[in-house]
Amino acid sequence: MVNLGDGTFDGGNTTSTLERPTYTPGNSDINAGNVDLRLDVLPNADCHTGEYFDTINLEITPVPSIQGPNEIEFCKTNPLVVDIGSYLSVDNQNQFSYVWTSSSGVAAGTFSGSGLSATYTPSSFDIDRKSVVLTLVATQASCSASATKNITVYFLDLPELMQVQTKSFCVRMR
pLDDT of residue 148: 94
User: Rounded to whole angstroms, how far apart are CA atoms 172 and 168?
Assistant: 13
Strand partners, 127: none
Helix, strand, coil distribution of the chain in percent, nearest 5: 15, 40, 45
> Would you say domain 66-156 falls under CATH 2.120.10.30?
no
pLDDT of residue 122: 92
Name the residue with higher pLDDT: 3 or 162: 162
Strand duo 97-102 + 110-112: pairing: unpaired
User: Rounded to whole angstroms, how far apart are CA atoms 120 and 161?
Assistant: 28
Where along the chain do its domains lie? 2-59, 66-156
Condensed to tens digits (0 to 9), the pLDDT of residues 160-172 reads 777 777 776 677 7
pLDDT of residue 1: 60
Condensed to tens digits (0 to 9), the pLDDT of residues 88-114 reads 888 888 888 999 999 988 778 899 988
Condensed to tens digits (0 to 9), the pLDDT of residues 13-59 reads 777 777 788 888 888 988 888 999 888 877 777 777 777 888 889 88
